[in-house]
Structure 1
Amino acid sequence: MIAASEHIYFAAPPLPYYLESGVTNHERGDQHPSRKQLGVFDLLIVEHGCLFIGEDERNWQLTDGQTLLLLPDRYHYSVKPSEEKTRFYWVHFQAVGEWQQTELDHSGINQEEHYNRFLTSPYSLHLQKAWTLPYPEQAFRLMRTLNKAGGERQSSAFWTQQQTFEELLRMMDLRQNDSYTSPIVTLAEKAEAYIKNNYRFEISSKTMAEALNFHYNYITRCMKQVYGMTPIDYLSKYRLEQAKLMLLKTEWPIVEIAQYVGFENVPYFSNCFTQQIGLPPTKFRKQYTT
């Protein structure tokens, strides 16, 4: 039985990168080798048959179209030999950035304080540890492309494999599929998108509630849980980040920039900018000019 509570998060960028891949065919009685502290992530994708695999104190029985992501710092072993012909693909990859495995509560949100950095960093790749693929044939096709590229010249194989691997990650990223994403995360992301698309104009609790069809207090609670800030705080932060870009990319006066990013009161804009960035707008621009 595939447990749905364990998930693995990768802060991105940088994205995990491909190392090597292959396909294994088991006859009846064959089994997966036992390894410990392998140092790389090992993604298994079963095409047909049944693979009995364990990690530390856990074990799984993977059948057609199911996947398992084994961690680089754990002990992996065969639970028992294959009982039938079994074919599975494997991918070894590495992650330079932060990652963590965690369990979710009933709402789909991890309550640990340090979890927020994965959702705001500026993106987190969200993979389920053990999963039944919704479109297994697509994953098999990508795996065949990965393995075939291994026989090509390195200069061309590198780009084919990295791009194909990223396509595989995108297909498996639960945040790309609303049906697998927590409603809290989905609403927070919709609120974020609304703010980014409308930051130059007046945004009120009423306009946001009407646009998203949720009570503003609930929107606020979701954004605080996912991004660690209220919609108003996020709006102010985003406006100031856009102001930074305008100060660097244009010669517009401070007044015009303030109004362009949604601040009607210029002194208030300058005060907010100074508090968040650490310098007044004029000094911020001056440090990048000759």
Structure 2
Amino acid sequence: MSQPEYLSISCLPLPTFIEGGYVTFHAGDRHPNRNNLQFFILMLMEKGQLYIAEDGHNYTVKAGEMFILQPLHHHYSWHVMTEDTAYYWLHFYVTGRWEQAPNLVSMGSVINVPTLHHYTPVETLYLAKHAKIQHPHRLAQMTRQIFKNSEATESYGFWQAQQLFIDILQEIQVQSQQESAMVQLSNQLQRYLRDHFNEKITSATLSREFHFHPNHLIRTLKATTGLTPTEYLRQYRMEEASKRLLNTAMTETEIAAAVGFQNIYYFSTVFKQYTGLAPTQYRQAQARQIATNHEELT
């Protein structure tokens, strides 16, 4: 196998399965020559050897291996088949950014995703271009089920096929050890902030809890959610305050204390920065909107 190459794909929006199939070649056959396909092609080799080239780079893909061709790149056979060769192929489409490189490249989302309740901080799908399949029989079974669902006349077959395809991508994805450790720490930080949002939390508090320098914790959360711990905590507190304003009869002072603010005036200032309205105005505006909606329904 040649020098490792990786496809880093923005996974928001998620890749979409388009179509797939199973193809068999015999000795003396060649793979088709194409350069205008707009889809990625994921190939899961079942038997034989495939001699495939992409943009002048030759690859030999053997049974039990996977290979991915890039969209709108020239691919063709660089050698005739020397034996019976068969593989599953799946076309999938990506609307986000992607890049093929010798290393993993972080790719951000192309859509604006709220960070507070976004529990998938890594927005990049990493796939090896050419690699050995770890669980070939399981992957083949999942692929055959995708084809079966795709052929179903019921509408839910489409959604089942998409879900299974995402499962396949999860099965074959490459995990960045550094990013994995960062994500794990970020998840722990987020959980701690959510569980203790009504308490006084400082950089020193987090440093003692997680045994890391405050700057490292700030960088970690910022890299995975787009927010510093202070920003994350403040945003979470504001959402909790909003819920209490809408769903309880608690006073503004009671709500401020319940979400971790000692000073009612500071709470009011921060809430107005977050929503554009003071707490009392926010409650009144939401009450009027609910009343209006009720009148329209009746």
Alignment TM class, shorter chain as reference: 0.7 to 0.9
- In structure 1, the partner of 2:168 is 168
The answer (yes or no) to whether the contact 1:116–1:227 under 8 Å persists in 2 is no
Distance 1:152 1:241, change over 3 A: same
Offset of residue 88 of structure 1: 1.6
- In structure 2, the partner of 1:187 is 185
User: Aligned partner of 1:166: which letter?
Assistant: I
The answer (yes or no) to whether the contact 2:146–2:161 under 8 Å persists in 1 is yes
Partners of 2:25 and 2:66 in 1: CA distance: 16
1:180-224 alpha-carbon deviations (Å, 9 max, x no partner): 844334433432343334333333334433443433332223233
Q: 1:1-290 counterparts in 2 under 5 A?
A: 1=1, 4=4, 6-12=6-12, 14-96=13-95, 98-101=96-99, 103=101, 110=106, 115-117=107-109, 121=113, 122=118, 123=120, 124-130=123-129, 131-174=131-174, 179=177, 181-248=179-246, 250=248, 252-290=250-288
List alignment gaps of at least 5 residues for structure 1: none
User: Aligned partner of 1:209: which letter?
Assistant: S
Partners of 1:258 and 1:19 in 2: CA distance: 51
Partners of 2:244 and 2:255 in 1: CA distance: 7
Return the TM-score normalized by structure 1: 0.77
Distance 1:162 1:225, change over 3 A: closer
User: Aligned partner of 2:67: which letter?
Assistant: L
Partners of 2:173 and 2:240 in 1: CA distance: 29
Distance 1:101 1:289, change over 3 A: farther
Corresponding residue SS for 2:286: coil
The answer (yes or no) to whether the contact 1:178–1:186 under 8 Å persists in 2 is no
Distance 1:154 1:216, change over 3 A: same
The answer (yes or no) to whether the contact 2:128–2:173 under 8 Å persists in 1 is no
Offset of residue 145 of structure 1: 0.8
Partners of 1:90 and 1:2 in 2: CA distance: 21
Corresponding residue SS for 2:99: strand
User: Aligned partner of 2:85: which letter?
Assistant: T
Partners of 2:2 and 2:277 in 1: CA distance: 52
Partners of 2:198 and 2:274 in 1: CA distance: 19
The answer (yes or no) to whether the contact 1:119–1:226 under 8 Å persists in 2 is no
The answer (yes or no) to whether the contact 1:33–1:77 under 8 Å persists in 2 is yes
1:108-137 alpha-carbon deviations (Å, 9 max, x no partner): 664xxxx45479844425131424443333
Offset of residue 250 of structure 1: 4.9
1:151-194 alpha-carbon deviations (Å, 9 max, x no partner): 432435323322322322333344xx575844334433432343
Partners of 1:250 and 1:126 in 2: CA distance: 42
Partners of 1:241 and 1:59 in 2: CA distance: 54
List alignment gaps of at least 5 residues for structure 2: 289-298
Partners of 1:213 and 1:119 in 2: CA distance: 34
What is the root-mean-square deviation of aligned Cα atoms in Å? 3.4
Corresponding residue SS for 2:163: helix
Offset of residue 249 of structure 1: 5.0
Offset of residue 32 of structure 1: 2.6
The answer (yes or no) to whether the contact 2:186–2:220 under 8 Å persists in 1 is yes
Across the two proteins, how many residue pairs are aligned to each other? 280
Partners of 1:173 and 1:247 in 2: CA distance: 44
Partners of 2:70 and 2:248 in 1: CA distance: 47
Partners of 1:248 and 1:103 in 2: CA distance: 50
Computing the radius of gyration from Cα coordinates, the structure with the larger value is 2
Offset of residue 142 of structure 1: 0.6
Offset of residue 92 of structure 1: 1.6
User: Aligned partner of 1:239: which letter?
Assistant: R
